[in-house]
Structure 1
Amino acid sequence: MKTIVAFFRLARWSNLLFIVLTQWMFIYCIVAPIFQAANVQPHIHGQFIFLLILSYVLVGAGGYIINDYFDLNIDQINKPDKVVIDRYIGRRWAIVFHICFTVASILIGIYVDLQTHVHFLGFANLVNGIFLFVYSLSLKKKLLVGNVMIAFLLAWVIVAVTCCEADQFTLLLQHRLVNTQKLLRYTILYGGFAFIVNLIREAVKDMEDVEGDRKYGCRTMPIAWGINATKVFVAVWLVVLIAMLVLLQFYAIQFGWWFFSLYCILVVVVPLVIVFKKLFKAQTPKDYHAISSLIKIVMLTGILSMVFFKIYS
């Protein structure tokens, strides 16, 4: 039983649930209503929704496992009580799980490509798997590059859903059947939100893990720039994100979306303001971990806001 629990911890089951929730909410609350309004069936429907989400869960699990494989020495310093590899699961098994999950995600992507008109999912999952391996091997240790890459890959979870319908846009736009501009706006909105929030969280996690990262030669922001400069970097992105969300509320109020605005202010904007206030007071890994956890809650509340687009559609 301990081994099973450890395996799910290794695969970051809670983060995988975020992937499931994000793609499912985006498909059912945003993509589906837009296509239904035009009486057009999207490429990703029925069983293919499950397969799309499963492919991203598998490639994500493979990425988390290989990340812990290469970070074993660092994790033994930063979070010794959470180390799984070499304690519950051997190194060789970790590699086997990574390869099996990544290959399975690619094969599922190819199957979806062959059964629909998507044509890119198998290749996209291959690229994601390569990026996650390279990130874990070396890029996460480099200044800013790893942070940007992981933030982009997490935003891609949303963007990929829209890209699955991309070839439909060209055909349907000519007949003005599907409101493609609306779908693109929502894709940019939530993809941009996911990118910025994860970029912020990755920088905070770097400050939390600075001790182990420094010992093993990593060039993360806190090590290269210092803690104070990294806090300024995070603060700037927080201000940008908060400003964007506040401006969005003025747009939403014009359409009478009062409950959406109230929700966003109370459970997205206010927690981000709290993160901003806590940021400059933080000193210990425990402080940074608490901030990282609060940012994760903001990610969840941001994802759940998609339900309002289903209600107002």
Structure 2
Amino acid sequence: MKLIPAFLKLVRWPNLIFIMLTQVLFQYGIYYPVYRNSIPAGDTLQFILLVVASLFIAAGGNIINDYFDMNIDRINNPRKMVIGKYINRRWALLWHLVLSVLGILLTAIAVNPFSRWYLVVANVICVILLWFYSARFKKDTLIGNVIVSLLTAWTIMIIFLSKFSFFDAFHNALPQQLKLFRFAVLYSGFAFIISLVREAIKDVEDIAGDRKYGCKTMPIVWGINATKVYVAVWIMLLIALLGVVQVYILQLGWWLGVAYCTVLIIVPALYLFKKLIGANSSKDYHDISNLTKTIMLTGILSMITFYFYL
């Protein structure tokens, strides 16, 4: 494998494309229609810088994750190993540092660090969490899964918070602010729950390597059956919440959104629940993990349907 393909594999370029797609869809499928006639000057440049910052921080996090996972990956994913085979460990650490620092600097450039300093601080915290997640928390029960899910939701919230004015929200209560807030909570909440589901499923899939290296993930500490119950509860909660959203948008006459969500999100989620109950092999959990990723994708793509109604 040549160096560039190895590096792209190391930073997990499909995941980076998914992050970029999520942020682009929120920008152009939700934000632009809501603020159709009042987009501030410089918004596009700010958005581009924030997207690149998010990609750099995520890429750096993927690198450090693989750095700390070398021994476990020799058992769980030997064919996917890059560090130690194609890229030197020291170079991997350097790339993690460079990408993380660039991500923080681009965040500071994109937003006014005096008025929106909390976004810069939040991305610094993201870098720190990614390090400690890779070094320690991913081996512990539940906390690692929660961290990944929060970081997944943050890819939407950072775009929202770069546009949301707390001053206007408290003093003027503009209808656009409220509408954007609702969509941000809806999609970041979806991202958080579906990520919790996928991370728990991955823990079951990777149980062999995790157990050998002393990890205390849910299936190891609680058992596989208890972990399946945990995942099933989150799936049913997600389906219930999506059902409530459908009732709400039905009242607005948004039939395209209802049809899309029902056919491409709720029905696959019900099928995911059924597959989970009958899963009993590593291949079963691998298939369920892929199905979860598909639901994540269709969920994010649903932003396109709102473009026609907002």
TM-score (normalised: structure 1): 0.94
Q: Contact (CA 8 Å) 1:34, 1:178: kept in 2 or not?
A: no
CA 176–280 in structure 1, closer or farther in 2 if over 3 Å, else same = closer
Q: Contact (CA 8 Å) 2:113, 2:120: kept in 1 or not?
A: no
The amino acid of 2:277's aligned partner reads: F
Deviations 1:181-215 (A, max 9, x none): 21111111101100000000000000000000000
Would you say how many aligned residue pairs link Structure 1 and Structure 2? 310
- Residue of structure 2 aligned with 1:83, choices 76, 81, 84: 81
Hey, what does 2:27 align to over in structure 1? 27
Deviations 1:164-191 (A, max 9, x none): 123x242366345452221111111101
Report the alpha carbon displacement of residue 63 of structure 1 after superposing the two structures with TM: 0.3
- Residue of structure 1 aligned with 2:49, choices 48, 51, 67: 51
Deviations 1:250-306 (A, max 9, x none): 111111111111111111111111111111222222221111111111111111100
RMSD: 1.7
Secondary structure of the 2:43 match is: coil
Hey, what does 1:121 align to over in structure 2? 119
Q: Contact (CA 8 Å) 1:75, 1:83: kept in 2 or not?
A: yes
CA distance in 2, matches of 1:6, 1:292: 24
Secondary structure of the 1:88 match is: coil
The amino acid of 1:156's aligned partner reads: W
CA distance in 2, matches of 1:164, 1:229: 40
1:71 maps to 2:69 = yes
The amino acid of 1:97's aligned partner reads: W
CA 220–176 in structure 1, closer or farther in 2 if over 3 Å, else same = closer
Deviations 1:99-146 (A, max 9, x none): 110010011111123489533332222111001001000001111000
Q: Contact (CA 8 Å) 1:102, 1:129: kept in 2 or not?
A: yes
Report the alpha carbon displacement of residue 42 of structure 1 after superposing the two structures with TM: 4.6
CA 29–173 in structure 1, closer or farther in 2 if over 3 Å, else same = farther
Aligned-pair identity in percent equals 48
CA 300–54 in structure 1, closer or farther in 2 if over 3 Å, else same = same
Q: Which sections of structure 2, spanning at least 5 residues, go unmatched?
A: none
Q: Contact (CA 8 Å) 2:76, 2:209: kept in 1 or not?
A: yes
- Residue of structure 1 aligned with 2:235, choices 217, 234, 238: 238
CA 171–248 in structure 1, closer or farther in 2 if over 3 Å, else same = closer
CA 132–215 in structure 1, closer or farther in 2 if over 3 Å, else same = same
Report the alpha carbon displacement of residue 93 of structure 1 after superposing the two structures with TM: 1.0
Q: Which sections of structure 1, spanning at least 5 residues, go unmatched?
A: none
Deviations 1:33-52 (A, max 9, x none): 2222xx43358712111110
CA 114–176 in structure 1, closer or farther in 2 if over 3 Å, else same = closer
TM-score (normalised: structure 2): 0.95
CA 43–139 in structure 1, closer or farther in 2 if over 3 Å, else same = farther
The amino acid of 1:196's aligned partner reads: I
CA distance in 2, matches of 1:42, 1:233: 44
The amino acid of 1:78's aligned partner reads: N
Q: Larger deviation: 82-91 or 192-201?
A: 82-91
Q: Contact (CA 8 Å) 1:78, 1:212: kept in 2 or not?
A: yes
- Residue of structure 2 aligned with 1:163, choices 161, 165, 180: 161
CA distance in 2, matches of 1:301, 1:86: 36
Secondary structure of the 1:165 match is: coil
Secondary structure of the 1:280 match is: helix
Hey, what does 1:136 align to over in structure 2? 134
CA distance in 2, matches of 1:95, 1:174: 46
CA 53–284 in structure 1, closer or farther in 2 if over 3 Å, else same = same
